[in-house]
Each structure stands twice: as structure tokens, then as C-alpha cells.
Structure 1
Amino acid sequence: MGIKGLTKLLADNAPKAMKEQKFETYFGRKVAIDASMSIYQFLIVVGRIGTETLTNEAGEVTSHLQGMFTRTIRLLEAGLKPVYVFDGKPPDLKKQELAKRYSKRVDATEDLTEALETGNKEEIEKFSKRTVKVTKQHNDDCKKLLRLMGVPVIEAPSEAEAQCAALCKSGKVYAVASEDMDSLTFGAPRFLRHLMDPSSRKVPVMEFEVSKVLEELNLTMDQFIDLCILCGCDYCESIRGIGGQTALKLIRQHGSIENILENINKERYQIPDDWPYEEARRLFKEPSVYADDEQLEIKWTAPDEEGLITFLVNENGFNSDRITKAIEKIKAAKNKSSQGRLESFFKPVVSTSVPVKRKETTEKAEKETVNKRSKAGGAKKKK
């Protein structure tokens, strides 16, 4: 879920903090990507018609592999350097949210059965998407694929978004890419939406800067975290009756959740029993992440051509010619991205421009001195 309604809240109250960008904008940039969210998108969109999905001869779903392979190549061809981060063990506080999601999938499965019986195509499409779940096998398949492609993979100790944000805050990557807005709540300096959108090549990337978000909203980071908890997050229920705009108004007026609870009209707004907002706040401020470089090996390598053909063609039924051509694209793209960003080419010019100018000035002065001496010598001879 991420943070409920945060995108609209920022569009209405902090429009300068978000801007549309093209893929090419991030040439040479390292970007941490929330892998599980991307896999979920691929399972829903790639090759799906109703309840039908891409499968291999054994009947195993391959939509996630197709989506991850194609989209990653597109990123590489645009000169990006993706780092995929996978979820680890979820925090205990998230178990209630995960239970809700499970319940919704059970309900959707029942609704899908009815839709199939009646032949309602719209209902079939809607409910089949709601039954999708990213499994351990999906994650393991994509980890194997990415490593064979020579793309770095990080297995987070807990939340992938938190680990992505930590990588960005430490300067190991330029930005974080996900669809869940809680990457901003974890403090990612730059956050990108739609970078992995498989539905269309024309969808622009939406970039958010957390510093501009805070400036536009006139909030501190602690107040922004409280705002997100009030809007609704994965770690606890929100206060019934408080939406995004009301939450922003209350935070601006009272400064913190504690002060809001002291002043709120409890008859109008229903506060959940044993509301664990303090623990939710702690999870956003002090998440479980890796910080040691030994645990965060970020290295792009050449693709394992033989391994990719074995895994994709022999084991999962992908077309051999297409995979061979795709491997050539990966190799060409990695050579291209190794050239670095455009501004790096100007650094030597900037550093040497002053000495060159001084040299030209010195040579000019020396010529003028020689000319003056020559004229003076000629004048003496005339005398």
C-alpha cells in the first residue's frame, strides 16, 4: 500500500517537489529498485489476458521473467545502472497488513470464480489481478536472472524500500525507484515512480525530492513521517475520519501526533485502540538495513551468456534467437553506460581552462614587450 493518498497530497500542496523526466535524464546514474514491487507489476501486466499468463512448457509462470528481462535491458540501454533490492523478513508490525492482503486475495478468488461462471470479462480481469501474489519462487527466479545478466542484487534484512533509501542517503545510488510512496517516508533524497512501469514506453518518470517536499509543505522530516502515519501506512491503522488534507492541517497546527491526540475531537475522530504509531515512527526513522560495504556489493559485470541461454531458453522456453539478440543488447548497453555521464567530460576542461588562459596572456605580453624593445632600438639607431 505504501502511504495512502500521498501522491495526490503532494500534487496539491507541493507541486514543485515533483517533476516529469525522461529515461535519458538518468544516463550513467545508479538507481536502487524495489524488486518485489516491479515483479508484482510484471505478473499483473506482462502477457496477461484475463486469467491467462505467460508460462513455460511445464506450466510455470514466466511473466515475471519476461518483464524483468525486457525492462532491465531497457534501463541498461538508456545508460542507467540498476541495483535491485529484494525484501527480507517483514517487521512484526506489518503482519496485520499482510493478513489483510491475504484476506482480500481470498475474497478476490471467490469473486473471480463467480465471474468465470458468468463469463463477465471485466470482472474476470479485475478480480484476477487482485489474486496475484509475489512468491518466494518469483523472487528467486528474478534474482537468478539478474545475476546472470550481470546486474547487482541486494537482499535486504527487512523492507526493500528502507534499504533502497539507505543506499540513496549514503550516496551509493542516485535515486530510489518504486511505486510505493513510503520510500520518501524512509528519507530517500530522490524518489522515482514509473521507472519500471511495463504498461507503456510513453509513461514519463515522476521524480520527487524529499528536501523540496519538506520545503513546500513547511514540515520537518519528523513531522513528515507523522503526516504519513496519519495518512495511512503499512504498519498501523489510521485515525478514522482523517484524510491527507486534514492530516496536513493538523500536523501544521499541532506539530506532532502526540499533540494532535491531546487536542483532537475524539467524538468526531475515532482513534484505534492501542494505536502503535510510536513503533511505526521508529520503523521509518530507524529501519533494519545493511550499512556495511561488505554486505552491499554493488558491481555490474558482463552477462553470463551460456547461463542466460540455459536458464531462459532451455529451462523456461524463451525463443533462442530473441535471447541471443538480447544478450548482445546487454553487452552493448553496458559498454555505453561505462562511458559515464556527460558532465564528467567537462571536468578536465574546467580544471585546465585557467592555466591555458594564463599561458595565452603570458605569450601575448611577451610579444608586446618584444615589439616595444624593437621599436625603441629602431628609434635609437635613427638618432
Structure 2
Amino acid sequence: MGIKQLLPFVSSIIHKSSIDKFKNKKAAIDGYALLHRIATRNPRQIVLNNDYSFIVNGMLEYLKFFNTHKIIPIFVFDGATLPSKKGVEEERLNRRKSAYSNALKYEKEGKQIEALVCWKQAIDITPFHASKVINAFHKRGVQCIVAPYEADAQMAYLSRTGYVDVVICEDSDMIPYGCSVVLFKLNVVSNTCDVYQAQDLPKTPFGINITLFQLQITCILSGCDYFQGVNGIGLKKALKIVGSCKTIKQVILSLKKNYNKPLPNNLEEQLNDALFTFNHQYIYDIEEKTIIPLTDFEGNETTELIERTLGKKLDQGSVIQIAEGKIDPNTLEPFKNNEIDIFDFEPIPEIKQFQTSQKSPKWCVDDILKKVHPQNEENEDSNELVSGEEESKLDSQPISEIKIEEPQSTVQRKDDFHEETEIKSNIIDNDPFEPENSFTFIQEDLTSLKRVRYEENNDDELTELSTFSNKTPSDIEQPLSKRKFE
């Protein structure tokens, strides 16, 4: 879920950039975000048949994308369910169940578009899917980490310790977690992303003297994964209430003074729990191969508080096996049939752009030619569409470099499960990894996507990437503008 409206709130410091500006940088990548994006390309098959091979192939395509742009990836996956998010996870489970029922109902009624929306909403990516991807990545020497609990905290640790240069994800939680550089809205078609740098945060409405505590408590009051927020309070009002407060008690007093509605009796406890989760969630120490809190405990925390918010501290053996993707982080049981024969999967075509289609590149080129030479469509069976020389040239040309006409506002598709349907809109849900004007069906073809070639502009080059120095307990009260950067 992230922090509602946080990215628009700090939009003045977020700028569009070419992904190529991060060449040779090490990136922590939110694995589950990519898994979900891939699953939405074939939702019915994923939900009904648990088709993990489709997901693995999709992740290998993303790996090729990062390798093409010379970004060093470290894929980070969620581990066990965090106790602080129990309520959120239950809501998501109920929504998935409801979506599944609605998908079946809409299919019986012949409402293909509505059914497709529900199939996407019913997708449940599990540690089993992640284990298959991790195994395929390990065969290729790619580094992967399964966090003890949330990937967000693990990526924050990698960023704040300088182990990675950037974090690639879609979760605005990375900002209150203290990540130094985050790439949002990665677009694999235009090769662009939205760049956030923590050192610019004082230039936003948060102000020059904002501390990590004030940033976090402002986000918590407006609503986050660990606390639903105070009704009627958004980021702007929350920031005004927090002001220069340095403790939860001061925030409560300010709330009582500036908020005219009744407050929950246990509000202080809920705020403390959420803040505790942000700062002390368990992560995997890569060098020591053990489980540690994101920042050290202060020493007065009770076992009940820790287990209620962060979960149990696992033994070192289990933590290592979880981190390597060998056992289920929730059940601690080994995954069955984890070995994958890579020949089970369709070969990945050598193209520069990310390909989401299940159809072959040759098929796509043929279709492109029909669009480019509509006058020859009548002779498509005569094999005289283009000369042999032209066809050879096109076969060797990357699909990404072939100019494709602008898609029409009305698009038609036909897939394995549904009859041909007319679409009046090119977008049905928010997919941050696709251009906004594209619409994905179970078997989409590349010709429906607008290929945007990124053109260098006159914007200043991205400033030198910086990372937080190792965080000490006192850092939470230190203005972010005065933090030490390497």
C-alpha cells in the first residue's frame, strides 16, 4: 500500500531520468513487485493453474533488461508475514477471494473485460513462486535475498549501509525507511524512471529541519501499512500537527490541541508500534549471515512488544536457509521439487527491449509488416509481402528499433479463453511497469504497444549518488539535511 499521496507530496524533488544514468550501479530490486507485474499478463492461468514457468520466464526477461542496461541487480523478496501487517494481509486475502468469485461469475455471464480485471485482482504470489525464480537466478549467478520478513526493511538496510547504490520499487514506504536513492515508475519500454534522492527532502514541504522521526510519524498519522491512520488527517495536516515534536507523547498532545474529533484510546500504543516497526524490523545481515534489527534496540523493549510487532527472532540456520530461498519463510519447510530444468521454459529471444508476449518475435515482425505495408495485406498468403533482403534485414533488427504506428483508441484482442472483444479504453488498471497507453491481455502482441524512444534532454546530470552512513540511534532525531553522506 505504501504511504498514500506521499509521492505527489514530494514531487518537486522527483525527476524523470534515463535508466542508463545508473549504469554499473548496484540496485536492490523489489522482487515481488516484478512478480505481480508479470502475473498480470496471464492472470487466469496463474490463478487457476499456478503456472510458475510463465512467471520465471518473465523474471528472466527482467534480468535481461537490467543486464542490457548494465545495472547490477540484487533481487529482494518478502519473507514471513509481518505481525504488524496482519490486518492488512487479511484484507488483501478477502479481496482476492472476492475477486476470484467475481471472475468466475463474470465469465459465466460472458463479461470478459470484467472477468479479466477480477483475475488480476485474484492473483496471489507466494513464497513458492519466489523460490522457483530464485532457483533460476542462482543458476545464472544472480544474487537474491529473501528477507526474514518484509523486503522493504531489507532494501532499506542495503541502501542505508551502502551495500547498494539505488533501490528499485513502487512502494513509497522506502522514503520513511530512509533509503538514499529510490527509482520509482520503472518503464521498460521508454527506459526511464522517476528518481528520488533523500538529500533533496528538505526542499519539499517537510522543510529543512525535518528529522527521520518527524518524517515517519507524519506518514504514520496519514496512514501506512502498520497503522490505518487518523480519520481526516492527510500528509499536509499531519505535518502541521507533528511540527517540531520529538516524541510520541508530544504528538498526542498536539493532536488533542489541533484535532477536534475523538481519538482512539490506544492511539499512543498504535503509533509506538508503527514507529517501532519502521525502525527495528528484522533484516538479514549479509556479511554476518544472521538476523538483526534494522537499527539496534534501545534495551527497554519487552519480548511481548517485539514479537507483537516484528515477529519471532529466528535461529541462524533457519535465517540462512530462508535468505537463500531454500525453505518457506512462513512454515520453515523445504520447498518441494525446487530444482528446475531450464529447458522446460521457452527460449528467451535476444532482443534489447523487454518482451511480454508469448508469441515469437518472427510473428510480431510479420504483424508489424502488415501494419507498415497495409496495401500488401491482400497478398499475405503469397509470401511476397517484402523482398528476401528486406525480411532478412528485419529479422536481424531488434524489435525495439522498428517504428510502430500509434495504437488506435479502440483495440481488439483474441486470446485462448475469451471471444474477440472491443475495448474502448487502452488501460484497465495501474501498471507502473508498462506505458500508460498499453493494455495487457493474456496473449498480448508487441504491436499493440507504443514504442517510445527515450531522447536525451538538457536536464542536468543526476547528482552523485549518495547513501546514508551507518545509522546510530541518535540519527532519528537529527535533521535529514545534516545527515552525513558518503
TM-score between both structures, scaled by the size of structure 1: 0.71
**Separation in 2 of the partners of 1:222 and 1:214?**
14
Alignment partner of 1:25 is 2:21: yes
| 8 Å contact from structure 1 (residues 187, 210) kept in 2 | yes
**Separation in 2 of the partners of 1:124 and 1:253?**
50
- Find the counterpart in structure 1 of residue 96 from structure 2: 105
Partner residue of 1:205 out of 193, 197, 200:
193
Partner residue of 1:222 out of 213, 219, 233:
213
- Find the counterpart in structure 2 of residue 344 from structure 1: none
Alignment partner of 1:274 is 2:298: no
Alignment partner of 1:135 is 2:126: yes
**Separation in 1 of the partners of 2:200 and 2:78?**
28
Could you say if the C-alpha distance between residues 292 and 131 of structure 1 is closer, same or farther in structure 2, counting changes exceeding 3 Å?
closer
Partner residue of 1:294 out of 288, 302, 306:
288
**Equivalent position amino acid for 1:70 in 2:** E
Alignment partner of 1:260 is 2:254: yes
| 8 Å contact from structure 1 (residues 51, 124) kept in 2 | no
> Alpha carbon RMSD of aligned pairs, Å?
2.9
Q: How does 1:302-313 map to 2 (within 5 A)?
A: 311-313=341-343
Residue 220 of structure 1 deviates from its aligned partner by: 1.5
| 8 Å contact from structure 1 (residues 27, 79) kept in 2 | yes
Partner residue of 2:116 out of 125, 136, 156:
125
Residue 126 of structure 1 deviates from its aligned partner by: 1.7
- Find the counterpart in structure 2 of residue 167 from structure 1: 158
Alignment partner of 1:318 is 2:346: yes
**Partner secondary structure for residue 162 of structure 2:** coil
Could you say if the C-alpha distance between residues 274 and 225 of structure 1 is closer, same or farther in structure 2, counting changes exceeding 3 Å?
same
- Find the counterpart in structure 2 of residue 145 from structure 1: 136
Residue 215 of structure 1 deviates from its aligned partner by: 4.0
**Partner secondary structure for residue 73 of structure 2:** strand
- Find the counterpart in structure 2 of residue 373 from structure 1: none
| 8 Å contact from structure 1 (residues 32, 177) kept in 2 | yes
**Separation in 2 of the partners of 1:290 and 1:53?**
30
- Find the counterpart in structure 1 of residue 175 from structure 2: 184
Tell me, which stretches of 5 or more residues in structure 2 are unaligned? 291-319, 324-338, 352-486
Residue 52 of structure 1 deviates from its aligned partner by: 4.4
Residue 131 of structure 1 deviates from its aligned partner by: 0.5
Could you say if the C-alpha distance between residues 168 and 254 of structure 1 is closer, same or farther in structure 2, counting changes exceeding 3 Å?
closer
Q: Which has the larger radius of gyration?
A: 1
| 8 Å contact from structure 1 (residues 33, 176) kept in 2 | yes
- Find the counterpart in structure 1 of residue 44 from structure 2: 51
Structure 1 stretches of 4+ with a deviation exceeding 3 A read: 52-55, 252-257, 270-273
**Partner secondary structure for residue 79 of structure 2:** coil
- Find the counterpart in structure 2 of residue 10 from structure 1: 10
Could you say if the C-alpha distance between residues 248 and 265 of structure 1 is closer, same or farther in structure 2, counting changes exceeding 3 Å?
closer
| 8 Å contact from structure 1 (residues 169, 187) kept in 2 | yes
**Bigger mean CA deviation after superposition, 80-89 or 251-260:** 251-260
**Partner secondary structure for residue 44 of structure 2:** coil
Could you say if the C-alpha distance between residues 54 and 263 of structure 1 is closer, same or farther in structure 2, counting changes exceeding 3 Å?
closer
Residue 190 of structure 1 deviates from its aligned partner by: 0.8
Could you say if the C-alpha distance between residues 109 and 185 of structure 1 is closer, same or farther in structure 2, counting changes exceeding 3 Å?
same
Tell me, which stretches of 5 or more residues in structure 1 are unaligned? 299-308, 327-383
Could you say if the C-alpha distance between residues 239 and 136 of structure 1 is closer, same or farther in structure 2, counting changes exceeding 3 Å?
same
**Separation in 1 of the partners of 2:76 and 2:89?**
20
**Separation in 2 of the partners of 1:106 and 1:239?**
28
Aligned residues: 299
| 8 Å contact from structure 1 (residues 194, 203) kept in 2 | no
**Equivalent position amino acid for 2:274 in 1:** A
| 8 Å contact from structure 2 (residues 47, 123) kept in 1 | no
- Find the counterpart in structure 2 of residue 40 from structure 1: 36
**Equivalent position amino acid for 1:20 in 2:** K
CA offset digits 1:145-185 (Å, max 9, x no partner): 11112110112122111111111111111011111111111
Alignment partner of 1:239 is 2:230: yes
Could you say if the C-alpha distance between residues 139 and 253 of structure 1 is closer, same or farther in structure 2, counting changes exceeding 3 Å?
same
**Equivalent position amino acid for 1:294 in 2:** E
Could you say if the C-alpha distance between residues 291 and 98 of structure 1 is closer, same or farther in structure 2, counting changes exceeding 3 Å?
same
**Partner secondary structure for residue 84 of structure 1:** strand
